[in-house]
Amino acid sequence: GPDDKVDLTGLLAQSGYTGSDPVGAGFIKLTDDGQGDAQIWSNLNSQWWLVSTLQHVQAASLHMSGAFITG
């Protein structure tokens, strides 16, 4: 729902990223899995890792604000 939030503060800290636009900087990406779910990916050590799958959420509906992803 609208109050759902994913906090990536710890993940980004581990990556050494301290900026305010991790998607634009290439540290985080949001994709659709083709089955109606959104996936959150993190780029650690030049390799993409699946952080989380959000069931029944469209990736296009998600917004990244600082270290938080909201729907």
Residue 2 above 60 pLDDT?
Answer: no
User: Predicted confidence band at 1 (pLDDT cuts at 50, 70, 90)?
Assistant: low
- How big is the CA angle at 52 (ends 32 and 11), to the nearest 5 degrees? 125
C-alpha torsion angle, residues 67, 7, 45, 62 (rounded to 10): -70
Mean pLDDT in residue range 24-50: 94
The pLDDT value given to residue 15:
82
Residue 36 above 60 pLDDT?
Answer: yes
Mean pLDDT in residue range 27-55: 94
Q: pTM of the full predicted structure?
A: 0.85
